[in-house]
């Protein structure tokens, strides 16, 4: 089995830790330490972060009852029919008092075979972005195809970009203080063959400027980019989100999660492992298309969203994420990230006797 070294930056302390991960999920060696840590490695800084190459294990549901099995069989048959025929079949084959249970079963079956069912909502909202722009420029939301096409083909928009990205909008995001948020995660790739990825072990939350309303397409409720929210001139909430420049750090998020869901360790045991899984999967997908040069590197900014059922969704990957601080939270983090990048690219190769230069050669 081909093995890959996945190394993770430590936190703001600059600590460095590493773990090995195999592409073969049946051979889990993620807990084994690097046998030759750098001479200046401080084991008290940072911690070993095993990389899951499959989604986190979830509790197994209880066995189905006889009635549930029957409804599942009917639901499977109905899903294979056109919508109108399925409705006719449901009303003719199922007593009215079982319709609610049957509909619930069908919705559950849809969730299993169409993974985005849970985020679709009921308003058919889509988001479009110009392919070559940043900082939220040109982004718009629509719930009608004709207005969407009119927008991207209009003369006023042609200067933005001739190519656009259209995504089904996540209509049911997890909200904090009634506001939508996303997570910006830094990822450093120093080699593609063998692939070496550094996943910074902390990130931060970015909030929309005002309360989330799924029925509105007003951008300040939906976009979390600081380049957008800083122009909001409406009434602002007097809370800890606003006080921190519409941002949160991860420790604050962890406290909120435990209070909201009455469950400890949601971030380290569920959300962060899911993000790592997405990072590795996307990089593996792009790997064959990369013209890699040894002793080079690339910093990526991954943007993630969490829905109201604690599922993690990838929004986009930024190839040149800004490292300019805009709040007290990013002021500390951006400085630490850049300092640790230099340690990885210069100090670590020197400590191993391989000479300096990005790429972990």
Which neighbouring-strand residues pair with 184? 204, 303
Distance CA 96, CA 101 (A): 10
Cα distance between residue 200 and residue 118, in whole Å = 29
Task: Name the region of 177 (left: φ>0; alpha: ψ -120 to 50; beta: rest).
Answer: left
191 with 349: CB under 8 angstroms?
no
The neighbour count for residue 214, using CB atoms within 10 Å, is: 16
Give the pLDDT of the chain (361 residues) as one tens digit per residue: 222 334 443 333 333 333 333 333 333 333 333 333 333 433 333 333 334 334 444 445 566 566 666 666 666 665 565 655 555 565 566 666 666 776 777 677 666 666 777 677 778 899 888 877 777 778 888 998 888 888 888 755 566 556 788 888 889 999 999 999 999 999 999 988 888 899 998 999 999 988 999 888 888 888 888 777 777 777 888 888 888 888 999 999 999 999 999 999 999 999 999 999 999 999 998 888 888 788 888 999 999 999 998 999 999 898 888 888 888 888 889 988 999 998 888 888 787 775 555 554 4
Give which of 141, 189, 157 is closest to 317, Cα–Cα: 189
Q: What is the DSSP string of 300-345?
A: EEEEEEEBTTS-EEEEEEESS------SHHHHHHHHHHHHHHHIII
Hey, where are the domains in the chain?
A: 66-114, 126-168, 176-351
In the 8-state DSSP scheme, what is residue 241? H
Q: What is the pLDDT of residue 21?
A: 33
Q: Could you tell me where the beta strands, DSSP code E, fall in 193-234?
A: 195-199, 204-207
Calpha distance 292→233 (Å, rounded): 45
Q: Residue holding tokens 């936190």?
A: 11
The pLDDT of residue 124: 86
Is the dihedral angle over the CA atoms 115, 117, 120, 126 positive or is it negative? positive
Handedness of CA 329, 332, 338, 340 (dihedral sign): negative
Q: Tell me the pairing of strands 164-168 and 175-176.
A: unpaired
Query: What residues are paired with 312 via a beta bridge?
Result: 306
Closest CA to 224 of 251, 205, 202, 201: 205
Residue-level length of the chain: 361
Q: How far apart are CA 303 and CA 301, in angstroms?
A: 6
Task: Please state which CATH number belongs to domain 176-351.
Answer: 3.30.470.20
The pLDDT value given to residue 259: 94
Residue 81 tokens, joined: 């029919």
pTM of the model: 0.70
Nearby residues of 126 by Cβ (< 8 Å), 6 or more positions away = 141, 142, 143, 148, 166, 167, 168, 169
End-to-end CA distance of the chain: 21
**How many angstroms separate the CA atoms of 111 and 21, rounded?**
30
């Amino acid at each position: 089995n081909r093995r890959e070294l996945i190394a993770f930056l430590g936190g703001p302390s600059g600590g460095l830790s590493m773990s090995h991960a195999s592409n073969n999920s049946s051979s889990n060696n993620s807990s084994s330490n690097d046998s030759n840590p750098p001479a200046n490695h401080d084991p008290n800084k940072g911690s070993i972060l095993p990389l899951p190459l499959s989604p986190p294990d979830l509790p197994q549901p209880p066995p189905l009852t006889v009635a549930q099995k029957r409804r599942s069989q009917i639901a499977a048959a109905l899903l294979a029919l056109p919508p109108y025929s399925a409705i006719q079949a449901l009303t003719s084959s199922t007593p009215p008092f079982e319709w609610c249970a049957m509909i619930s079963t069908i919705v559950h079956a849809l969730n299993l075979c169409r993974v985005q069912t849970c985020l679709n909502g009921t308003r058919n909202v889509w988001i479009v972005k110009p392919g070559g722009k940043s900082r939220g420029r040109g982004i718009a939301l629509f719930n009608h195809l004709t207005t969407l096409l009119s927008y991207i083909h209009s003369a006023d928009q042609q200067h933005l970009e001739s190519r656009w990205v259209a995504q089904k909008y996540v209509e049911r995001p997890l909200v904090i203080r009634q506001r939508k948020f996303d997570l910006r995660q830094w990822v450093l790739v120093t080699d593609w063959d063998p692939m070496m990825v550094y996943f910074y072990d902390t990130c931060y939350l970015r909030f929309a400027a005002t309360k989330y309303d799924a029925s509105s397409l007003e951008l300040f409720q939906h976009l979390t980019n600081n380049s957008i929210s800083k122009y909001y001139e409406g009434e602002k909430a007097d809370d800890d989100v606003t006080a921190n420049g519409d941002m949160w750090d991860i420790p604050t998020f962890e406290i909120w999660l435990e209070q909201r869901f009455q469950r400890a360790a949601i971030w380290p045991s569920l959300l962060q492992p899911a993000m790592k899984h997405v990072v590795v999967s996307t990089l593996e997908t792009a790997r064959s298309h990369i013209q890699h040069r040894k002793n080079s590197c690339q910093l990526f900014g991954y943007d993630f969203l969490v829905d109201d059922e604690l599922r993690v969704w990838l929004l986009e990957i930024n190839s040149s994420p800004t490292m300019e601080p805009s709040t007290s939270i990013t002021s500390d983090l951006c400085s630490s990230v850049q300092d640790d990048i230099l340690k990885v690219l210069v100090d670590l190769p020197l400590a191993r006797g391989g000479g300096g230069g990005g790429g972990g050669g």
